[in-house]
Structure 1
Amino acid sequence: MKLDPVTQVTILELSEAQARMDGLEARRQSSPERAELTSLLAERAALRTSTARSRLSARDLGVDVKKLESDLDKLRRREDEDRRSLDHAEDAEVRRDLEHDLASTRRRREELEHHIADVRDIRDAHEINVGADSDELEDRIRLAEKRVADADLDMQAQVDGLKRRMEELRGTVDAKLLSRYDKITAETGIGVARLDGRTCLSCYMELDASTMRNFETLPAEEVVTCPECSAWLVRPVTLNAADEANKR
């Protein structure tokens, strides 16, 4: 296929503009600002999960505390009843049984009081954990979002400039040729690239000497393709011819 050098350089510029746009999008997705925001959002999700679990645990422990306190009240009442009974008991065996029951009840009451105190401490710890550090984290997220927005704004300005230039270039290219360019770009990723020495700047493969010798025999108007990736290659001779044509 033959194309005048100026047209070849035009579609080369179009292809390179698309590649720069793709590079900007890749940079936008992998920018340090976005990585920081992603990390903070993951931290917030983990905190929300932890908060939900702590809230549920605190609620369950609150129910446990109420039940234990009810059991404690029963032991205290039994302890009081044993003391009152002892005050009036005269039979030695009855007194012995009451004293044994009183000692046992007192021991169980003291153990339960310690257990309730421990459960309360655990419940309070879960309540403290509910929403802990969330305000500070939200401030960090807002700051990270602003940094991402600022970085995106700068990149978007570059993308918008490239889009405008691509529209200008597409407006100068024949519709059928543009359709062929779009097709090969969809197939190869980079449809048109420079030939830098022996290297195809689409697939970055080094072409063999036989292919290079064949290219050297062809006029500047001849469109050559990379034998590795099938991209159209714009050779230095074509670039020089386009420069000369633009100077006229």
Structure 2
Amino acid sequence: MKADPAVQRRLLDLAEADAELNRVEHRRRTLPELAEIGQAERDVRAKRDELVVAETAYRDLDREVRRLENEVEQVRARGQRDRELMAAGGSAKQLEDLEHELQTLARRQGILEDEQLEVMEQREALETNVTKSREAVDAAEQRLAEVQSRRDEALADLEAAEVRRKGERDMIVKALPDDLAALYERIRAQRGVAAGLLQGARCGACRIEIDRTALNEVREAAADDVVRCEECGAILVRTGGNR
């Protein structure tokens, strides 16, 4: 295959565009924000789980407080009824029984109120835990949102670079002869890097020095001959200085 040396040199621009597109894709896959997002998402899940535990414990104690409040109210109502019955009078036996029941109710009320106070203090502590857990969830979600925003910005920059480079690449390919462009694309599909500058005896695509015999063949080839590296198969782009 033959192609004007100036046209062949355009392959270097094409190879650079492809290298940049590869770097963009690699960068997209390895953004540090991706790992940060994974960790931030795990933190959010952990904080939410902690909040669920705290809220569940708080609700359990809150129900216990309400149960005790109801029991205390029932005891007070029973005591009020007994006092009203005593005020209405009755037999000595009835009054004695009422007095005994009032004493029992007073002791029961005291026990219930002590228990109620203790549970309320525990509920207050758990309410503080719930508040702190909610704040921790909010903070974790905020960190996640910040990292996601940075990722989106980085992806937008990469997308813009990719679009720009693809546009440049399309222009280069359209300016190449069809057979040369097809050869380049076939090599790129098979080997990755399809063209490189011949620098002394070194192939610019694979960075391997070409042996003397092959190098002499390359140098003896006509300027418009399309020659390839025997090591990697890439098109060797030559300049006047390496012929």
Q: TM-score range by the shorter chain?
A: 0.5 to 0.7
What are the within-5 Å matches in structure 2 for residues 114-153 of structure 1? Answer: 114-127=118-131, 129-130=133-134, 134=138, 138=142, 141=145, 145=149, 149=153
CA distance, structure 1, for counterparts of residue 155 and residue 73 of structure 2: 68
Which residue identity does 1:39 align to in structure 2?
Answer: E
8 Å CA contact 1:28, 1:152 repeated in 2: yes
CA distance, structure 2, for counterparts of residue 224 and residue 41 of structure 1: 45
CA distance, structure 2, for counterparts of residue 141 and residue 31 of structure 1: 16
**Same amino acid, percent of matched pairs:** 15
Instruction: Provide Cα deviations, 1:115-136, integer angstroms capped at 9, x if missing partner.
Output: 2321232134314533557489
8 Å CA contact 1:215, 1:224 repeated in 2: no
Deviates more, 1:127-136 or 1:70-79: 127-136
Q: CA deviation at 1:186?
A: 1.2
Would the alpha carbon gap of residues 13 and 101 (structure 1) be closer, same or farther in structure 2, given more than 3 Å must change? Answer: same
Q: CA deviation at 1:171?
A: 1.6
Stretches of structure 2 lacking an aligned partner (at least 5 in a row): 87-94
Q: CA deviation at 1:19?
A: 0.7
Would the alpha carbon gap of residues 12 and 38 (structure 1) be closer, same or farther in structure 2, given more than 3 Å must change? Answer: same
Would the alpha carbon gap of residues 60 and 139 (structure 1) be closer, same or farther in structure 2, given more than 3 Å must change? Answer: closer
2:5 corresponds to 1:8: no
Deviates more, 1:165-174 or 1:72-81: 72-81
Would the alpha carbon gap of residues 70 and 158 (structure 1) be closer, same or farther in structure 2, given more than 3 Å must change? Answer: closer
Q: Provide the residue aligned with 2:90 in structure 1.
A: none
Q: Provide the residue aligned with 2:91 in structure 1.
A: none
Query: Does the residue aligned with 1:130 lie in a helix, a strand or coil?
Result: helix
Would the alpha carbon gap of residues 79 and 5 (structure 1) be closer, same or farther in structure 2, given more than 3 Å must change? Answer: same
Which residue identity does 1:187 align to in structure 2?
Answer: Q
User: Which residue among 175, 180, 186 is the counterpart of 1:172?
Assistant: 175
What are the within-5 Å matches in structure 2 for residues 1-248 of structure 1? Answer: 2-27=2-27, 30=30, 35=33, 39=36, 43=40, 46-47=43-44, 50-51=47-48, 54=51, 57-58=54-55, 61-62=58-59, 64-75=61-72, 77-78=74-75, 89=96, 103=107, 106-107=110-111, 109-127=113-131, 129-130=133-134, 134=138, 138=142, 141=145, 145=149, 149=153, 158-204=161-207, 206-207=208-209, 211-218=211-218, 219=221, 220=223, 221-227=225-231, 230-234=232-236, 238-240=238-240
8 Å CA contact 1:54, 1:129 repeated in 2: yes
8 Å CA contact 1:54, 1:130 repeated in 2: yes
Q: CA deviation at 1:137?
A: 6.4
TM-score (norm 2): 0.65
Instruction: Output the aligned Cα RMSD.
Output: 4.6
Instruction: Provide Cα deviations, 1:148-189, integer angstroms capped at 9, x if missing partner.
Output: 63x666655554443333222212222233222212111111
When the two structures are aligned, how many residues end up with a matched partner?
228
Q: CA deviation at 1:41?
A: 8.0
Q: Provide the residue aligned with 2:92 in structure 1.
A: none
Stretches of structure 1 lacking an aligned partner (at least 5 in a row): none
Would the alpha carbon gap of residues 98 and 27 (structure 1) be closer, same or farther in structure 2, given more than 3 Å must change? Answer: same
TM-score (norm 1): 0.64
Q: CA deviation at 1:231?
A: 3.4
Would the alpha carbon gap of residues 30 and 67 (structure 1) be closer, same or farther in structure 2, given more than 3 Å must change? Answer: same
Instruction: Provide Cα deviations, 1:26-57, integer angstroms capped at 9, x if missing partner.
Output: 3456567xx2x873685367437634752674
Instruction: Provide Cα deviations, 1:85-126, integer angstroms capped at 9, x if missing partner.
Output: 9x9548xxx96x986886576345413421232123213431
